[in-house]
Amino acid sequence: MRIFDPHIHMTSRTTDDYAAMHAAGVRALVEPSFWLGQPRTSPASFYDYFDSLLGWEPFRAAQHGIAHHCTLALNPKEANDPRCTPVLDALPRYLLKDNVVAVGEVGYDAMTPAEDTALAAQLQLAREHGLPALVHTPHRDKLAGLHRTLDVLRESGLPPEHVVLDHLNETTLGAASDSGCWLGFSVYPDTKMDPERMIRILRVHGTDRVLVNSAADWGHSDPLKTRHVGDAMLAAGFGEDEVDQVLWRNPVAFYGQSGRLVLDSAPPEGQSYEGNSILRGGE
Ligand SMILES: [Zn+2]
């Protein structure tokens, strides 16, 4: 089973996770920029983080045979902090980088006017750069949040096929599907969406335009949830081709719209990243 995790935060995961993901079939992933838990106090702290998603983390992933790409944005939560919003002015030069396959995560957290401004500005940037957008739907007030998101998307003029609406569930599936956007589902260990609920959604909706991710970060999460969904699909009677569509071809098609996906994940031999090699312990 070949797996592309379209949304996972490897910054907060260990090398053991990379090794386990490779053993489970993960050969490619996309790491969206997000809130790091500790509030940032200046735009410079974003730039170091973006550089790490563009350089260090792909290097680390390649050592485990996994192709790493990223999405960059000012996240919804920090869009409310005036110390962080100048990042919006620097984003255009970051969006030119080869490894950036979408603008994201953008969207709503608490649905404030500042979040409105950041979302609209970043959807505009996606349009100008010909990039897809990864849009996070809020965990609270889900359906209201989705409707407001869809209104802003329509105003942006970004084509729905360039947008994935993420963290969907049974309550938001219908409206999200009608919008023509791609449909992202984050599968968690014991909250929100789990593999069995995902199977029921796939039975109703089918496999078209569906992306399944682990959204693993520092919270209680599991970077092997993509594999668990693949196994659950096979056990439920889906064919191998349908599993391959959901876990590989759909994310390749979505992020491939950037024209920047490189899925060769050959490990770097004898290389270091800015003088730092993490090959040790007889790997
Ligand atoms: Zn995320």
**238 C-alpha to center of ligand 1: Å?**
27
Q: What pLDDT does 192 receive?
A: 74
Distance in Å, CA 281 to ligand 1 centroid? 31
pLDDT at 270: 62
Query: Which domains are delineated in the chain?
Result: 3-256 (3.20.20.140)
Q: What is the spatial distance between Cα 256 and Cα 218, in angstroms, rounded to a whole number?
A: 28
Q: CB-hemisphere CA count at 13 Å for 275? A: 0
CA of 214 to the centre of ligand 1 (A): 9
User: What is the mean pLDDT, run by run of 10 residues, along the chain of 283 residues?
Assistant: 98 97 98 95 97 96 96 97 97 97 96 96 98 93 92 96 96 96 94 90 97 94 97 98 98 98 74 70 43
Torsion over CA: 30, 129, 39, 148 (sign): negative
- Give the pLDDT score at 196: 94
The predicted structure's pLDDT at residue 156: 96
pTM of the entire structure?
Answer: 0.94
The pLDDT assigned to 141 comes to 86
Q: How far is the CA of 213 from the centre of ligand 1 (A)?
A: 10
* AA identity, residue 150: L
